[in-house]
Structure 1
């Protein structure tokens, strides 16, 4: 008689979150984990760039204005190193962001602060194909 095995649980899609504001970062991390995502959170873009696990991410969420490097430069650096996943930008400075990218479509979505939980989850679900 063949032994029945339960199907493997679905993989938790890996999300990389980069925000230098500890309160925003922790809140987003807990929210995303609660919705079934495996979240790697970094307090700086430099930390994210040296983490090899970033290249396995199904989606990246980055703050626009951070100390040392902005979210645009972070995504461009990751793309230059071969990462091709969707990126979501979080900003309280939409006008500054639009001027900085000058029509470069490097982000799937732009989320404005203060973040609305359902909008964050909907954006990440779309980016990872969970919808």
Structure 2
């Protein structure tokens, strides 16, 4: 197995065919890409740091478990690392299941080297976007947690387009108090305009909706 470089994304190859593992390691090495290979999904889970950026090139057939089951387990655990599914026994139901479980590409063996390289390049870019969005969401969530319950109510009212007078009537508080809470919300959420506040509120709502669907 090739040592991973902390400065580059890591491609995880999971395939029980040694010749395939060796061939793919050589291919990625020739492209100056860091890669590491495992003979089973469990080996990856036991040995690899899935927090390291990159992607997974995953076969679907293993003794005792399937790559698709492993893929589903990763998704349920909240790991959204891009997965490229490869198989020598591809069919339509398998393709559909792989895509539903979050695979970004599905290649049937034997595949062209360029097709795999293109898929991996796209997967690494996708991972960069996912991680950037995750960092942004974490920061917005952290800011949201600094709000008091009343400030949360005011924020929701503001992003829903209500004026200060309407908010005061809804919450049974004075206009002065609404303005104070509104000012605190803007400072704590680190926004300068209602438009920016709406964007952050929408990000939080989308994540909450996604979490509810997954559960």
Aligned to 1:44: 40
Q: CA deviation at 1:24?
A: 0.7
Q: Cα offset for 1:103?
A: 6.3
Per-residue deviation at 1:80?
A: 2.8
Bigger relative CO (Cα 8 Å, ≥ 6 apart): 1
CA contact 1:12–1:36 (8 Å) conserved in 2: no
Alignment-derived partner of residue 83 in structure 2: 87
Task: Give the helix-richer structure, 1 or 2.
Answer: 2
For normalisation by structure 1, the TM-score amounts to: 0.80
Please state how far the C-alpha of 1:67 moved relative to its aligned partner.
Answer: 1.7
Structure 1 position 46, deviation (Å): 0.9
Please name the residue that 1:127 is paired with: 123
What's the TM-score, normalizing by structure 2?
0.51
Partner of 2:66: 70
Q: Report the structure, 1 or 2, having the larger strand content.
A: 1
SS in structure 2 at match of 1:94: coil
Cα deviation digits, residues 4-35 of structure 1 (max 9, x gap): xxxxxxx3221111000000111011101221
What is the RMSD of the two structures over their aligned residues, measured on CA atoms?
2.2
Q: Aligned pairs, how many?
A: 120
Distance in 2, Cα, partners of 1:103 & 1:118:
21
Give unpaired runs (5+ residues) of structure 2: 1-6, 127-215
Instruction: Give 1:116's aligned residue.
Output: 112
